[in-house]
A = this chain, B = another copy of it.
Amino acid sequence: METINPFTIIGLAAGTLTTIAFLPQVIKTWQSKSAKDISLGMFSIFCTGVFLWIIYGFSVGDLPVLLANIVTFILAFTILIFKFRYG
């Protein structure tokens, strides 16, 4: 695992943003109970890719990539479940 340096902070900021980005979508879909305009293909492929990012981040010991993708996976997978529930 790398030492914390300025680049790691940029990476963590990037990871925080691309992760929390999914929260407004989770909340919106939860409240509207409508997922018609959301692409099933997008969230299926995305969740698979994020899972591979987790393996990659762990393999190369990249903390921002690892942490960000674990949380992103949880949120994107929630949207995928909503898509199945609310169409």
Contact = CB atoms under 8 A, between A and B. Distances in A.
Contacts of A23: 42
Given A36-B37, A37-B35, A49 B7 contact: no
Q: How many copies does the complex hold?
A: 2
A28 B24 contact: no
A55 B42 CA distance: 25
Q: How large is the interface on A (under 10, 10 to 19, 20 to 34, 35 or more residues)?
A: 35 or more
A13 B51 CA distance: 11
A24 B52 CA distance: 19
A15 B49 contact: yes
A17 to B, nearest CB: 3
A7 B60 contact: yes
